[in-house]
A and B are shown apart, each in its own frame.
Chain A
Amino acid sequence: MINRISALLLGTALAFGASSAALAQDKAVKIGVLTDNSGLYSDLGGAGSTLAAQMAVEDSGLAAKGWKIDVISADHQNKPDIAVNTARQWIDVDKVDIFVDVLNSGVALAVNNLVKEKNGVMINTGAATSDLTNTQCSPNTIHWVYDTYMLANSTGQALVKAGGDTWYFLTADYAFGHALERDTAAVVLKSGGKVIGTVRHPLNTADFSSFLLQAQASKAKIVGMANAGGDTTNTIKQASEFGIVAGGQKLAGLLLFINDVHSLGLKVAQGLNLTETFYWDLNDGTRAFSKRFSERMKNKAQPSMIQAGVYSGLVHYFKAIEAMGGNPHDGIKVVEKMKSMPTDDPLFGKGTIRVDGRKIHPAYLFEVKKPTDSKGPWDYYKLIGTTPGEQAFRPLSESACPLLKK
């Protein structure tokens, strides 16, 4: 009997849900946060990205204007096949309009193709590969936060200028690592430096001692870490054990996040140079958002630039669909509208979106503080340089994006 009642209730609920969705069809939006919820990158995106998306929905005030906005999230486990299957189901069955986060370059490139095929929208805030706005650019994708070209351009150039003219790369052996190594090597060569060797390690390696010994034996001035997350923190920690820095070589974290620095502790991380496009303590706007964010995080973490990007990207997306008067459920149209409007939010400041899908904003070169200079947890960065947006990313003249030929 109870079973029958609950089945009836469920049926009613489903029918009600379906009818209400049908009524508000052009004012309904479904956001899919596709990210690593359980693996080595889950602190960089994960639950924090879902929270950022929810905050963007709440702050937009669209619900009060009759919009119905849902946020759903799934774990892609850093596997492109799982990601594509989930994304396909989201588009076909769950009617997801827009994908955010989508960290991991391998995953991002795979989902990029699918979203283009299905005419959805992707605001990629997590993946690093600059191919998303170069050879693989798509009219349905915006690459929001950072990319390998920008990282190489900022951190790489600064280090070569400071005298680090011979490089040895320690590269994560997948799309992201290859792209970061390629873009950084290009900058090193262009600035008059030399790459004397490279070693590629599998993603998610626990022990780097073999690779570090090879880097040490190369006698390169700079050991460039073209990896991310747990791989980078393990490399840095073990490099200090093997006396890499004490022996006169310098470590270059080509992609380091605030969460990595937090996990390493300042004692180990101090003095590292790194580039980010968002830091919680940049200005009043970033501080206000980060305070609200960290209060709602289980471990009280400050937002990473990936999570901040989810918020910022959605704020702009909401502006665009509101200006269109409703959700046309047509990815290309929405992205075109987004590109035609200047971006402005408290997290990344004023910016634009280029025709190749590249979001333009400044890049900040930071140095990790000494433990004595830090006021407490999360007070980690000292700003040492800012690259204006127009110079930070790959210029359109060097881009191979097919969208430019139109």
Chain B
Amino acid sequence: MQALYAQLLVGLINGSFYALLSLGLAVIFGMLNIINFAHGAVYMMGAFCAYFLLNVMGIGYWPALIIAPIAVGIFGMILERTMLQWLAGLDHLYGLLLTFGMALIIQGIFQNYFGSSGLPYAIPDELRGGMNLGFMFLPIYRGWVVVFSLIVCIATWYLIEKTRLGANLRAATENPTLVRAFGINVPRMITLTYGLGVGLAALAGVLSAPINQVRPLMGADLIIVVFAVVVIGGMGSIMGSIITGFALGVIEGLTKYFYPEASNTVVFVLMVLVLLVKPTGLTGRATT
């Protein structure tokens, strides 16, 4: 029984990464209608950014949590301005292919210079060590990841669903022409949204740098699972992707305990089941 508690907690930790990444994807898809396959690559760039900040400029983990998402977010906005914006109104497939191609190029460049085994990034001193919870040894850093990503997820949800800015944004996706008529600069808003989504992925990258090796392929390994999370949660649904992210982390954790061989397929089995029963995803609204 004790082991079960431990697995639940570990699942929650992984769920935080799924939630942060799928949140960014959901924001981008919901607001820009782009299936952002470059999401794994920008997640990886976030981790590399933290690595460079530390090893080249001597800037530690805490500033990196702010600097890396902003830097990678700006990179994302440049991509949006120079390439993605021309795809507005076209079929989803174009955006998917373009971002997939960009992801391959970015990963290829990093792999060319840094190899595949990855680079070390240490846990910040303040978060070293762990607590004995009785049923498991919880590394403090992992506890921090869960708490911090929950806060970020809820803040993002609040920003989009409950503030005036979010309302404008949602209106702009429904009917851009009308929103423009109110004097709101829609293209700029879309660019900023893409930057936000990309920044969230980079933030997840910084959070994961001390746990995983900083590797060029770290995002590619994760992105497929995250897509499944978004599909299960309902494409474009903010709350849906947050809840599904955490829930799938837990389910995957339990699978690792009861039947480890299936732990990297369980998410896809669930995806198939959900799609069979409710094709719009758990919280998705049918679009007509």
Residues of A within 8 A of B (CB): 38-43, 46, 173, 199-202, 204-207, 209-211, 213-214, 216-217, 229-230, 233-234, 237-238, 241-243, 247, 259-260, 262-265, 267-268, 298-299, 301
Contacts and interface: CB of A to CB of B under 8 A. Distances in A.
Nearest to B218: A206
Given A211-B260, A263-B119, A299-B114, 6 more contacts: A202-B260, A210-B253, A210-B257, A241-B130, A262-B117, A265-B120
B130 A233 contact: no
B211 A242 contact: no
Contacts of A247: 137
A268 B113 CA distance: 23
A256 to B, nearest CB: 11
12 contacts: A173-B261, A210-B11, A211-B260, A213-B6, A213-B7, A216-B137, A230-B213, A233-B213, A234-B212, A241-B130, A243-B130, A260-B117
Max count, chain B CB within 10 A of own CB: residue among A214, A237, A243: A237
Interface in B94-145: 111-120, 122-123, 130, 136-137, 139, 141-142
A262 B118 CA distance: 9
Contacts of A234: 212-213
B222 interface: yes
B221 interface: yes
Max count, chain A CB within 10 A of own CB: residue among B10, B253, B260: B260
Contacts of A204: 221
B200 to A, nearest CB: 18
A230 B118 contact: yes
A21 B6 CA distance: 65
A206 B116 contact: no
B231 interface: no
A339 B127 CA distance: 57
Contacts of B142: 209, 241
In this complex, the interface size class of chain B, counting residues with CB under 8 Å from chain A, is 35 or more
Given A42-B115, A213-B7, A298-B113, A268 B256 contact: no
Nearest to B259: A200
B7 to A, nearest CB: 6
Nearest to B108: A38
Q: Which 6 residue pairs across A and B have the least CB separation, nearest first?
A: A210-B256, A263-B117, A265-B120, A202-B264, A42-B116, A43-B117
Interface string B30-59: 000000000000000000000000000000
Nearest to A236: B213
B212 A206 contact: yes
Contacts of A259: 115, 117
Given A243-B137, A264-B120, A268-B120, A200 B113 contact: no
B13 interface: yes
A200 B3 CA distance: 17
Nearest to A268: B120
Max count, chain B CB within 10 A of own CB: residue among A42, A207, A242: A207
A242 B117 contact: no
Contacts of B280: none
Contacts of B117: 40, 43, 229-230, 233, 259-260, 262-263
A41 B260 contact: no
A267 to B, nearest CB: 7
Contacts of B13: 209
Contacts of A173: 260-261
Given A42-B111, A210-B7, A262-B117, A238 B211 contact: yes
A242 B137 CA distance: 6
A264 B260 CA distance: 25
Contacts of B112: 298
A264 B215 CA distance: 12
B140 to A, nearest CB: 10
Contacts of B256: 201, 210-211
Contacts of A200: 260-261
Given A38-B116, A213-B7, A264-B120, A205 B264 contact: yes
B263 A213 contact: no
A239 B219 CA distance: 22
A201 B252 CA distance: 12
A242 B133 CA distance: 12
B217 interface: yes
A197 B47 CA distance: 35
A40 B217 contact: yes
A201 to B, nearest CB: 6
A173 B113 CA distance: 30
A43 B116 contact: yes
